[in-house]
Amino acid sequence: MKPENIYSFARLKLCLLLFSLLFFVNPLQAQKQLEDVVYLKNGSILHGTIIENIPGVSIKLQMADRSTWVFKMDEVEKMTREEKPGKPQRLSKEKGFYNVTSAGLIFDEIAGTLSMVNGYKWSPYVATGVLICLDAYGPNTYLPLGIDIRGEILRSTVTPYWYFQAGYPVVSPPSNTWETFKPGMMYQPGAGVQFMIAEKVGFLTEFGYKVQHLQYETNSWGITKQKIQMRNLTFKVGLQF
């Protein structure tokens, strides 16, 4: 196997490993906290911690405000242990228009990328949008326009997600007398993890694998054409509204 093929194969394995880690990230689930609940025969329901229980005689219940109540057992209908009510989860919008703005790095190059997606979320698991992207490979800049398809894996405050982008550069490196650049299709699959930081606002961190097709022509002692595929791992962070 040629050295460049070995390098490409190793890079592909790294991408697959990163994608696997992102897809199989399970959100950290808060440990359930239980409390004592006392149901009285007069219809009252009290929540707290039973700090003293004399079977058949009485119980002593400490409330959240640290006050203490004593009840005779003939006043008590039943006692249970129940989960404390928690705060409602912050979730992304289920349906409607959305925006994703992100920026990051293109590896193996001195390169950066900035992208924006405006689209419509059909459900938490499928959304489609219009993509505009600015990719700067050193002195060469590309501006692909295209489509973005994405979806969340879980309905949770922290969830993995997937995406696929495809487009065509409307701006590419300028040509001169000796060199001509003809851009081709760009596509990028990827995956990430979304952290809801506010109501319907998510912080995104993601890896992608960007492929940019390009035809390069030189006019020195005859025209020479060369088709190039720039394949690069990307890392981006962003916000979804």
Mean pLDDT, range 127-148, rounded to an integer: 89
Per-residue tokens: 187: 């596509």
Residue 229 forms part of a structural domain:
yes
Q: What is the pTM of this model?
A: 0.63
Say whether both 100 and 176 belong to one domain.
yes
pLDDT of residue 23: 47
Q: Which residue has the higher pLDDT, 118 or 29?
A: 118
Residues in Cβ contact with 51 at an 8 Å cutoff, skipping those fewer than 6 apart: 60, 61, 62, 68
pLDDT of residue 16: 55
Per-residue tokens: 168: 């065509």
Which string of DSSP letters, residue by residue, matches 124-167? Answer: TTEEEEEEEEEEEETTEEE-EEEEEEEEESSSSSEEEEEEEEEE
Say whether both 45 and 135 belong to one domain.
no
Say whether both 9 and 51 belong to one domain.
no
Say whether both 55 and 157 belong to one domain.
no
Mean pLDDT, range 27-38, rounded to an integer: 67
pLDDT of residue 60: 94
pLDDT of residue 32: 55
pLDDT of residue 176: 57
Lowest mean pLDDT among 76-80, 90-94, 127-131: 90-94
pLDDT of residue 3: 44
pLDDT of residue 184: 85
Say whether both 51 and 143 belong to one domain.
no
Say whether both 77 and 93 belong to one domain.
no
pLDDT of residue 29: 43
Say whether both 118 and 207 belong to one domain.
yes
pLDDT tens, position by position, 176-226: 556 677 778 999 999 999 999 888 899 999 999 999 888 777 666 666 777
> Based on the number of CB atoms within 10 Å of its own CB, is 100 exposed (0-12), middle (13-18) or buried (19 or more)?
buried
**Structural domains counted in the chain:** 2
Residue 31 forms part of a structural domain:
no
Domain that residue 13 falls in: 3-24+89-240
Say whether both 101 and 170 belong to one domain.
yes
Residue 29 forms part of a structural domain:
no
Say whether both 224 and 117 belong to one domain.
yes
Say yes or no to pLDDT of 166 above 50: yes
Say whether both 42 and 105 belong to one domain.
no
State what percent of residues in the chain have pLDDT above 90. Answer: 47
CATH number at residue 43: 2.30.30.100
Mean pLDDT of the chain: 82
pLDDT of residue 177: 55
Residues in Cβ contact with 81 at an 8 Å cutoff, skipping those fewer than 6 apart: 34, 35, 36, 37
Residue 221 forms part of a structural domain:
yes
Say yes or no to pLDDT of 50 above 80: yes
